[in-house]
Amino acid sequence: MNIIGHRRLWYAISLLLIVPGIVSLWFWGLRLGIDFSSGQLLTVRGEATQAVVDEAAIGFGFTDIVVVPASGDQTQIRYRDPSEQKDHEANHQRFRSALEQRGLVELSFDSVGPTVSTSIAQNAILSLVLASVAIVLYIAYAFRNTPPPISSWSFGFMAVAALLHDSLLLLGIFSLLGHFWAVEIDALFVTAVLTVIGFSVHDTIVVFDRIRENLRRRKGSFEQIVNDSILETLARSLNTSFTVMLTLLALLLFGGHSIRMFVLALLIGIAAGTYSSIFNASPLLVTWYNYQQRRMARQSAVRRKHA
Amino acid sequence: MSLRVKLAIIALLAAMSAVLAYPREDQLFAAIGLKDTVMKVRQGLDLQGGAQLVFQADLNGVEAAQRSSAIQSLIAVINKRANFGGTSEIVVQQQGSDKVSVSLPGVKDVDEAISRIGKTANLTFVEINAADGTQTPTGIDGKDIDSATADYDPQKLQPVVRLKLKSGDATKRFGEMTTKLSQTGNLLLAVLDDQPTFGPARTEAINDGIAILSGNMDIAEARKIAEEITAGALPVPVTLVEQRSVGPTLGQESVSRSLVAGLIGLITVALFMIAYYRLAGVLAVLALTFYTTLTLAIYKLSGFVPGYTIVLTLAGIAGFILSIGMAVDANILTFERLKEELRAGKSFRMATETAFDRSWTSIRDSNVSTLITCVILFVTSGSTPIIRGFAVTLGLGVLISMFTAIVVTRSLMRVVIRAPWARNPKFYGLKIAQPTKAEEAQV
């Protein structure tokens, strides 16, 4: 099987999957939940319609009331209470009894103030930046003894390219989900993105590790060695992703309702991670290597001309 | 370490963790004479139900140098107030520079808890001139009170609040103040949070530091007021800025659903491993079972280490279940390697050793990247315990699984391949002929 030979096809597939999400991110962004934008979120048992909830909320002065059916027989009601923070709890209690009169029993209630949501958002960005930097440094260190013709930094950057691919795909899909199905992202979503980053690199490193080993022990073109290495680790990549996805599918289908979107995010990210570690990260190493070779050839040709 | 010693240690660990992880281990312990050993995995608020409240302190009126001590005394007061319900698992801690988070597991009435914790509870005594009704502060307030209890007035059979003043200066000043009042005939009024609560009433000279406050209240109210006064006033005003409450039904539902999901995940992964890697798969499943029990045992044992107790949240369970999928990764890496080495014609013993040796760097390097993200998540999780829970269980899972997948599976493999029947490539999911006689002899 020639994976490297078809690398342009794999890149094209990746672009096809990522571009709609990027467009959506550009125009519509992500739908931020109360963790990031502050506000109130109530989960009730029972199927609530917007009209019923709006009616229950008459007189409270709430804004941005959004009713979204959650999984199971639960409904999520999001609102924003513009009154002073000290009155929020009293308003919530009266709103809760108004809902109860309409057969909607409160299961959980979250309220996040603006100072808290700002710090959650800051922490989220900080953790994403820290994780990316730490991983590049780590890979460059772990692959410091890479034999020629490729530098350890190339491994690091290609692994980061793969993880950017995975996180962009994940963010893009959730942007689309947010626009069309009102799916909001919360603090747990950031956790999912970070976990996907970790897994993406985890998966990529196994292939890279084999490339490094084969570079030491085998003769042949760089392209050939990379292709062999991908094939030799293919069964492992697919099997590991398969077992991880089995556990995630079990969680998605049978697990708790409130983490369903979190599990979905992990599932998408891990599928993307498996694809990118096979079809993006290592082929990109070859593309990068070929580019350097051509540049060096051009430079030496120029030098010969001048000589 | 010889293989036999290793196996003995593994067997011992497995037996111990199985006993600890067993859901009703208290019955087991009771059977051997140990009583009252309540051991269970600590559940987070989203599983057992309860509320997490975050209060922001208004430090505007406090000098920069005094701020951290103001927060410390705030935490002390909130701790006293929150713990009056008697629940022992209440946790009050500082969050960021100016916030205090309060975890109230199993709290039934969140609203009551919020108003109790957020109350300033400022007690002051005011003198009221009997002739013209003018009010003057007496300079005695909540800081001078040692404790307060609810009591019955033996004569009138009416609920009262009995105050005990701090001995020394406070008792002396209170004595002087009441003596003066009893002579002038002026009235004394006790004001709690700007509300006239007791009095105004005439008073006699009180020199023993015990004051009885009577007013129009029932015994429950008297108790509440006594608790508030004893806990003391909040040193700075606070606002509730974050609240996350989960009812007990939702929590219970999450627990049972997660258990089902975890079991299904574990069983399907086990079936897949056995179907694909046959005998090696069976060993991997043994290691995985060991991994699961060991992890549960560690969760339970962590309850004995204050400050490091692992609190299982819904996301934490997801992290644990995810780690089951990842735990077999090390096995898969090794078994794929084993197949390759066998295909290359190596003897079973050589192939096993090479497979474990060669796959180690991949296992180590790849798991470190997951650990890095777990550490970063843990450090930046700050206000969100649900994220912290996920980072802890996933990170711990990665570490424990490295041990079980490598040490345990390797030892088991070494034992198994001693048996001639086990040296059949078919048993490892390999589709090649049986090794030749010459190869057999090499082993």
Q: Are residues A135 and A81 part of one domain?
A: no
User: CB distance A111–B376 less than 8 Å?
Assistant: no
Q: Is B232 helix (H, G, I), strand (E, B) or coil?
A: coil
Residues B371 and B306 in one domain: yes
CATH for B288: 1.20.1640.10
pLDDT confidence of residue B178: 83
State ipTM: 0.85
What letter does residue B102 receive in the DSSP assignment? E
Report, as an integer, the average pLDDT of B323-349. Answer: 84
The per-residue b/e assignment along A154-164, b for 16 or more CB within 10 angstroms, e otherwise, is bbbbbbbbbbb
Same domain, B420 and B287: yes
What is the structure's pLDDT at B4? 77
Going by pLDDT thresholds of 50, 70 and 90, the confidence category of residue B251 is confident
Q: How does residue A272 score in pLDDT terms, banded at 50, 70 and 90?
A: very high
Dihedral sign, Cα of residue A256, residue A262, residue A266, residue A267: positive
Q: Is A85 on the interface with B (CB under 8 A)?
A: yes
Q: Does B335 reside within a domain?
A: yes
A124: nearest CA in chain B? Answer: B380
Q: How confident is the model at residue A307 (pLDDT cuts 50, 70, 90)?
A: low
- Residue contact A240–B332, C-beta within 8 A: yes
Asked, for residue B377, whether it belongs to a domain, the answer is yes
Percent of chain B with pLDDT over 70: 90
Can you spell out the DSSP letters for A100-138?
HHTT-EEEEEEEE-HHHHHHHHHHHHHHHHHHHHHHHHH
Cross-chain residue pair A202–B358, CB shorter than 8 Å: no
A60 and A162 assigned to the same domain? no
Cα end-to-end distance, chain B, whole Å: 21
User: pLDDT tens digit string along B396-439?
Assistant: 998 888 888 888 888 888 888 777 777 777 777 777 655 544 45
**Residues A25 and A52 reside in one and the same domain:** no
Assess whether A223 and A155 both reside in one domain. yes
Is the CB of B322 less than 8 angstroms away from the CB of A187? Answer: no
Domain boundary among A61, A92, A112: A112
CB-CB neighbours of A214 under 10 Å:
17
Looking at the structure, do residues A27 and A125 belong to the same domain, yes or no?
Answer: yes
Write out chain B residues lying below 8 Å of A263, CB-based.
Answer: 318
Nearest to B282, CA basis, from B328, B343, B340, B347 = B328
Written as six digits, the tokens of B178 are: 């009441």
* Residue A76 forms part of a structural domain: yes
Query: In this structure, is residue A1 part of a structural domain?
Result: no
Q: Are residues A170 and A107 in the same domain?
A: no
User: Which pLDDT score is estimated for A170?
Assistant: 94
Sign of CA dihedral B38, B44, B45, B47: negative
Q: Which residue of B has its CA nearest to A262?
A: B315
Backbone angles phi, psi at B274, to 5 degrees: -70, -40
Peptide bond into B200 cis (omega under 30): yes
Distance CA A241, CA A249 (A): 12
State the average pLDDT over residues B141-156: 79
Tokens of A59: 């007189």
Query: Do A258 and B269 lie within an 8 Å CB cutoff?
Result: no
Say what percent of chain A tops pLDDT 70: 99
B127 with B258, same domain: the answer is no
Identify the residue with better confidence: B274 or A303: B274
Same domain, B83 and B213: no
Question: What is the least distance, in Å, from the CA of A252 to any CA of chain B?
Answer: 8
In the block, which residue shows the tokens 């700007």? Answer: B194
Among the partner-chain residues B240, B266, B332, the one whose CB lies closest to the CB of A239 is: B332
Number of folded domains that form chain A:
2
Nearest-by-Cβ selection for B390 from A138, A191, A256: A191
Q: Do A111 and B242 touch (CB under 8 A)?
A: yes
From A87, A112, A137, the end of a domain falls on A112
Is residue A79 domain-shared with residue A202, that is, in the same domain? no
Indicate the pairing of strand B238-246 with strand A105-112: antiparallel
Pair A103, A134 in one domain: no
Is B10 part of any domain? Answer: yes
Residue of A nearest to B265 (CA): A247
Interface test with B, best of A35, A88, A94, A108 (most B CBs within 10 A): A108
Q: Considering the domain boundaries, does residue B44 fall inside one?
A: no
Are B111 and A109 inside 8 Å of each other by CB?
Answer: no
Verify that A51 and A91 share a domain, yes or no.
yes
Tens of pLDDT, residues A163-184: 889 989 999 999 999 999 888 8
Q: What is the mean pLDDT of chain B?
A: 80
- Pair A16, A142 in one domain: yes
Shortest distance between the Cα of A76 and any Cα of chain B, in A, equals 13
Answer whether residue B96 shows pLDDT above 50.
yes
Number of domains in chain B: 3
A106 in a domain, yes or no? Answer: yes
pLDDT at B443: 44
Task: Please indicate whether residue A285 or residue B202 has the higher confidence score (pLDDT).
Answer: A285
B254 and B241 in a single domain? The answer is no
Residue pairs spanning A and B at CB distance below 8 A: 225
Mapped onto helix, strand or coil, the DSSP state of residue B146 is strand
Of A110, A135, A190, the CB nearest to B243: A110
Calpha distance B357→B60 (Å, rounded) = 62
Identify whether residues B241 and B256 lie together within a single domain. no
Name, of A17-26, B249-258, B414-423, the range with top average pLDDT: A17-26
The more confident residue out of B184 and B29 is B184
Q: Is the pLDDT of residue B442 over 60?
A: no
Can you give the pLDDT at residue B438?
Answer: 47
In chain B, which residues have their Cβ closer than 8 Å to the Cβ of A217?
A: none
Average pLDDT over residues B260-266: 88
* Whether pLDDT at B68 is above 50: yes
Percent of chain B with pLDDT over 90: 1
Last residue of a domain, one of B245, B267, B284: B245
Domain co-membership, B71 together with B155: no
Query: In this structure, what token pair is assigned to residue B350?
Result: 């050589």
Distances (CA, A) of B27 to B43, B294, B300: 21, 19, 15
- How confident is the model over A195-200, as a mean pLDDT? 85
User: If you measure CA to CA, which chain B residue comes closest to A130?
Assistant: B376
User: Strands, DSSP E only, in B254-333?
Assistant: 311-312
Token couple for B26 = 């208290």
Checking if the pLDDT of B85 tops 70, the result is no
How far A307 CA sits from the closest chain B CA (Å)? 47
Which residues on chain A are in Cβ contact (under 8 Å) with B247? 106-108
The pLDDT score that the predictor gives to residue B28 is: 61
Is the Cβ–Cβ distance between B43 and B255 less than 8 Å?
yes
Residue of chain B whose Cα is closest to the Cα of A197 = B373
Find the CATH number of the domain harbouring A65: 3.30.70.600
Q: Is B296 in the same domain as B411? A: yes
- Between CA A106 and CA A44 the distance in angstroms is 4
Q: pLDDT per residue over B30-59, tens digit each? A: 666 655 555 677 788 888 888 888 888 888
| Structural contact between residues B400 and B367, judged by C-beta atoms closer than 8 angstroms | no
Cβ separation of A115 and B377 shorter than 8 Å? no
Question: Which residue among B222, B245, B268 closes a domain?
Answer: B245
Write out residues 277-296 of A within 8 Å (CB-CB) of B. none
CB spacing of B328 vs A240 below 8 angstroms: yes
Other C-beta atoms lying within 10 Å of the C-beta of residue B2: 7
Chain A residues touching B325 at Cβ < 8 A: 240, 243-248
B210-214 and B238-246 beta bridge pairing: unpaired
**pLDDT given at position B1:** 67
Q: Decide: helix, strand or coil at residue B84.
A: helix
Copy the structure tokens of residue B270.
């086990």
CATH code of B151's domain: 3.30.1360.200
Domain carrying residue A88? 39-112
Is residue B94 domain-shared with residue B189, that is, in the same domain?
no
Residues of A in contact with B369 (CB under 8 A): 135, 138-139, 198, 201-202, 205
Can you give the pLDDT at residue B35?
A: 56
**Domain ends where: A58, A90, A112?**
A112
Mean pLDDT of chain A: 87
Q: Distance (Å) from the C-alpha of residue B378 to the closest C-alpha of chain A?
A: 9
pLDDT in tens, A219-234: 888 889 999 999 988 8
Q: Which amino acid is at A108?
A: S
Residue A270 has pLDDT above 80, yes or no: yes
Alpha-carbon gap: A180 to the closest alpha carbon of chain B (Å): 26
Residue B215 is assigned to a structural domain of this protein: yes
CB pair distance less than 8 Å for B358 and A213: yes
Residue A13 host element (H or E): helix A7-28
Mind telling me how many Å the CA of B248 is from chain A's nearest CA? 8
Q: Provide the CB-side half-sphere exposure for B324 (13 A, CA).
A: 34
Domain of B15, in residue numbers: 3-36+247-442
A75 and A195: one domain? no
**pLDDT bracket for residue B84 (50, 70, 90):** low
Residue with tokens 């009155």: A87
Q: List the single residue in A235, A240, A250 with the smallest CB-CB distance to B329.
A: A240
* Per-window interface: A 30-49 vs B, CB < 8 A: 35, 43
Does residue A129 belong to the interface with chain B, where contact is any CB pair within 8 Å?
Answer: no
Average pLDDT over residues B201-211: 78
Instruction: Judge if B198 and B283 occupy the same domain.
Output: no
The rounded distance, in Å, linking the Cα atoms of B15 and B331 is: 22
The 3 state secondary structure assigned to A23-41 is: HHHHHHCCCECHHHHCEEE
Residue A99 has pLDDT above 80, yes or no: yes
Q: Are residues A164 and A189 in the same domain?
A: yes
Q: Following CA atoms B169, B173, B179, B183 in sequence, which dihedral angle do they give, to the nearest 10 degrees?
A: 160
Query: Per mean pLDDT, which range of A89-93, A170-174, A176-180, B193-197 is the poorest?
Result: B193-197
Integer angstrom CA distances of residue B154 from B84, B161, B208: 26, 13, 19
Q: What is the DSSP letter of B33?
A: T
Buried/exposed code over A118-139 (b: 16+ C-beta within 10 A; e: otherwise): ebbbebbeebbebbbeebbebb
| Domain final position from B245, B278, B300 | B245
Residue A24 predicted with pLDDT over 90: yes
